[in-house]
Amino acid sequence: MTGNDRMMEKTAGDSVLKVAMPKGRIYKQASKLFREAGLLIPEDFDDSRKLIIPVPEANMEFIMAKPVDVPTYVEYGVADIGIVGKDVLMEENKDVYELIDLGIARCRMSVIGLPGWKPVMYPRVATKYPSVASQYFREGGQQVEVIKLNGSIELAPLIGLADRIVDMVETGQTLKENGLVEMETLFQVTSRLIANRVSYRLKNQAIQELCDRLGQRIAARG
């Protein structure tokens, strides 16, 4: 029970809203959006290496997490809410509330290959998103071998590991530079605000208020 006791201790500040924030690319845009919505996040935290950042002015606490882990923290309730890309939500399939589309970190999930791609006998697809890719091809009636890679996915078709890849495309610049083309789009990706099932009810007011403030700001951005 010691792990649990520790958890109780950490969550003792009942009214504080714990927010799982993705480190890196999305954080910059998310913290900007939060500031525009009037939530006072000190600027110097942007480059901090601290993992837990209290923001008493907004009655919040930021937990700096690796983006793919955000839904996990929120599902277990160690964070009340979190910010995460739709790509991660689709891949991780966690039981959390998806409350609002923040409209930031906009990109798309696509099937990519070399120009002039033709169906092959044993199709292989390399991706960082194996469950998204498997589901997409299954629903399209294609049986493919999905290969999970952890980075530089664009390499796979260039060196013959796979004939196609499924990956996120933001501007398409990397693809162009490597002579690859986008073949199909699976879905559009933006960052979402997610909430834990219990927090959504027990901290309803704080969460709803935050949603409303962010929602107004997002609407104003257009």
What distance in Å separates the CA atoms of residue 169 and residue 197, rounded to the nearest whole number?
Answer: 31
> C-beta of 192: minimal distance to other proteins in Å?
6
Nearer to other proteins, 5 or 47 (CB): 5
Residues 35-94 that bind other proteins (CB under 8 A): 72, 75-78, 94
For residue 169, list its beta bridge partners. Answer: 108
Q: Contact with other proteins (CB under 8 A): which of 16, 81, 99, 105?
A: 99
Nearer to other proteins, 78 or 183 (CB): 78
Nearest to 46 by CA among 62, 67, 70, 66: 62
Is position 155 an interface residue for other proteins (rule: CB under 8 A)? no
Strand pairing of 124-127 and 81-85? Answer: unpaired
Matching residue, tokens 């998310």: 30
Nearer to other proteins, 7 or 181 (CB): 7
Q: Find the DSSP H helices in 68-196.
A: 70-76, 86-92, 130-139, 155-159, 173-177
Nearer to other proteins, 73 or 175 (CB): 73
Q: Contact with other proteins (CB under 8 A): which of 96, 146, 166, 206?
A: 96
Is position 139 an interface residue for other proteins (rule: CB under 8 A)? no
> C-beta of 1: minimal distance to other proteins in Å?
8
Q: Are 193 and 83 in contact (CB under 8 A)?
A: yes
Instruction: Provide the 8-state DSSP code for 16.
Output: P
Q: How many Cβ atoms sit within 10 Å of the Cβ of residue 202?
A: 14
Residues that bind other proteins (CB under 8 A): 1, 4, 7-8, 11, 14, 72, 75-78, 94-101, 192, 196-199, 201-202, 204, 208
